Amino acid sequence: MALSSFLCVAAASTRVAAEEAPEAIHLRFEVEESLARQCPGPERFMQLLRAEHPSLTLAPEGGRARTFDFHIRRDRDALAGEVVVTAIDGRSYSRTVTARDCPTLTRALAVVAAVASNLVPFERRGPDGDGVPPGAPAKDEPQAAPSEDAPAAGTPSRSASKALRRSRHAREPDESSAWSGGVGLGTELVLGSLPRPVMGYRGYVDVQRAFGVSAVGMRLSLAHARAPLPGTSRLNVLVHMWTARLEGCASRRAYVTISVEGCVGATSGSFEAFSTGPTGSRQVHPWLSLGAGARVRWHIGKAFYAELFGNVSSALTTFETVSRDSAAVRDSVSPVVGELGLGLGHSFGRP
């Protein structure tokens, strides 16, 4: 709440001072490597900065101009951003801002930098008191003859433009709305659908669209599990489940590295029982269930994550498995089934 109030008040004050002559600056923007997929690159950040202070442009390399340094890093369960504005004469202003997500933090840094630009003068005074605009050489320095390739004052040089484009994020979408995908594998404890609790396996692909700290998406997963039918040592009856699940999900980042996700979906597949004995039989039944689940995801670095997940479903197809031997052992599928598991995944694009 305090950060939002500061942004509103500061943004209003800086836009009054933005009606000035164009000023060329040097921009240095660094993001901790583990946050590369969450935060915008220099080009996008320069757009945010100019939205708060439209008179700012990039200075040619080697020109005398104020320097705006930005650094974003993790700080426990939040993100911290530091801005340092240094005048030509060496005077500087610095401030650190914290936020839960990078979109909020970068906007706050842009506003703080705009405020700081009014506190740190960008006009260097010469010995005679005349103002020397940023990007211009000092009076006692030799001035090179102008050339056709030399950039105009306030216009970024060709090398400066290339440096700005060389971001560690090749193409940065708008941080308010971004797509990402992922693949993963997991193991789970299967409850209710097989004759006894057993460990199974699940692989999945998913896609999400982020809106700030929230996201919506879909997940398609394939799973397999099997268990023996108790009391059938004569025929050794095994029960297999092969299923596919399609889910719609909504998630939200609780902390910088932790997100919580809720899903609803449908599961379909086959339920197969067969025996390895010479007189054994094979039974195949269709499987369909509807359910809901939840996941807690821990983001490890910039691309990997681990997750704890659970699901509870109502089986729409129920039936009995019979051993078909002299014992005639039966097992009925429970109307309520579920899974508890752990998984590891890899994400692509913005988280």
**Phi/psi at 207 (nearest 5 deg)?**
-140, 140
**CA separation for the pair 82, 91 (Å, rounded):** 17
In whole angstroms, what is the distance from residue 86 CA to residue 297 CA?
Answer: 40
The CATH 2.40.160.20 domain(s) of the chain lie at 178-349
Q: What is the pTM of this model?
A: 0.56
pLDDT in tens, 169-190: 333 434 444 788 999 999 999 9
**Partners of residue 81 on adjacent β-strands:** 72, 97
Residue 348: CB atoms within 10 Å: 13
The three-point CA angle 245-247-248 to 5° equals: 170
What would the CATH number be for the domain defined by 178-349?
Answer: 2.40.160.20
Check residue 277 and give its pLDDT: 64
Query: What secondary structure letter does DSSP report for 35?
Result: G
| Of residues 20 and 204, more confidently modeled | 204
Q: Mean per-residue pLDDT for 214-237? A: 84
* pLDDT, tens digit (0-9, with 9 covering 90-100), for 59-98: 888 788 888 888 898 877 778 888 888 888 888 888 888 8
Q: What is the pLDDT of residues 277-330, one digit of tens each?
A: 666 677 888 999 999 999 999 988 778 899 999 999 999 887 776 666 555 667
Mean pLDDT value across residues 255-284: 84
pLDDT attached to residue 334: 85
| 64 contacts 138 by C-beta, under 8 angstroms | yes
Q: 132: pLDDT confidence band, cut at 50, 70 and 90?
A: very low
Percent above pLDDT 90 for the chain: 26
